[in-house]
Structure 1
Amino acid sequence: MSAGFASVDDLLASARAGLTRREPQEAYRRTLTGALVVDIRPAWQREADGEIPGSVIVERNHLEWRLHPTSGASLPLAAVGQEWIVVCTEGYTSSLAASALVSLGLPASDVVGGIHAWRAAGLPVVPGPTPVEHRVRHHP
């Protein structure tokens, strides 16, 4: 079997070609009208860099099953038509994950620059880590 892509960069470019990526401010605005941020980072990264208030924690290896409404293992928040905005540390893994969600017919995008860009934009970040498959609390 031959590789479908010559490099990881080619794989990433292909994934991003099928996405509408969101700058942090735009992603934040979309959350105000019902989009949900899904944080796919492991606990140690969320503890180091913080979490986005209101985001849903779903580590990458369970993402498709937890967000697809008919998977049989979906979260209650995984309703048909729910818009998902995937976030990782710097916006690379989130592109691959969002592309996988789009390939399943889910409305998904990712945050350009990840949590680092979100924080740099002055958007809210709270200490983590929140348990997997829970929503991050809004801290005062």
Structure 2
Amino acid sequence: MEDQDRGVAALLALARTGVRRLTPAETAAAARRGALVVDTRTDPQRAEQGDLPGALVIDRTVLEWRLDPASASRIPEAVDYDVEVVVVCRQGYSSSLAAASLRALGLWRATDLIGGFDAWRRAGLPCADAPADIRR
């Protein structure tokens, strides 16, 4: 294995290969058309930075179980493998890995927000004015 094939940069490149990642404006549009926007940031990150309007908060450690339609631990919105999912993290790195994992499960429309919540804020998009929809 060559050095360029190792490490987190190589893993991210592989996770993003052939995937159309979304800008903040495209993520907002996806939410309006019914996509599941899933925020995987930690509680302290959300407390400090704010919440995404309409997002479902799902801890990264249980993400696959909550979104797999065949899982006994799925959320009600995980109705089939055609569901559009946009994963959001703080800066758009772990969300790429999470979206790749969801695609590996069969959720072929899973993608992520380029630049994460930081990009959302830089784009001037709003934070939620209601409590987050946290799914354990």
Secondary structure, counterpart of 1:85 in structure 2: strand
Q: Quick one: which amino acid aligns to residue 128 of structure 2?
A: V
Alignment correspondent of 2:30: 30
Secondary structure, counterpart of 2:135 in structure 1: coil
> Matches of 2:91 and 2:119 in 1, distance apart?
7
- Does the 8 Å CA contact 1:37/1:55 hold for their aligned counterparts? yes
TM-score, normalisation: structure 1: 0.86
> Over residues 24-73 of structure 1, what are the superposed CA-to-partner deviations in whole Å (9 max), with x where a residue is unaligned?
10111111111121001110111111111110010100000000111111
Q: Runs in 1 of length 4+ with deviation above 3 angstroms?
A: 127-132
- Does the 8 Å CA contact 1:38/1:86 hold for their aligned counterparts? yes
Name the Cα RMSD after superposition.
Answer: 1.9
Deviation at residue 110 of structure 1 after TM alignment: 0.2
Identity of aligned residues (%): 45
Count of matched residue pairs: 131
Structure 1 regions of 5+ residues with no counterpart?
A: 135-140
Deviation at residue 128 of structure 1 after TM alignment: 8.4
Structure 2 regions of 5+ residues with no counterpart?
A: none
TM-score, normalisation: structure 2: 0.89
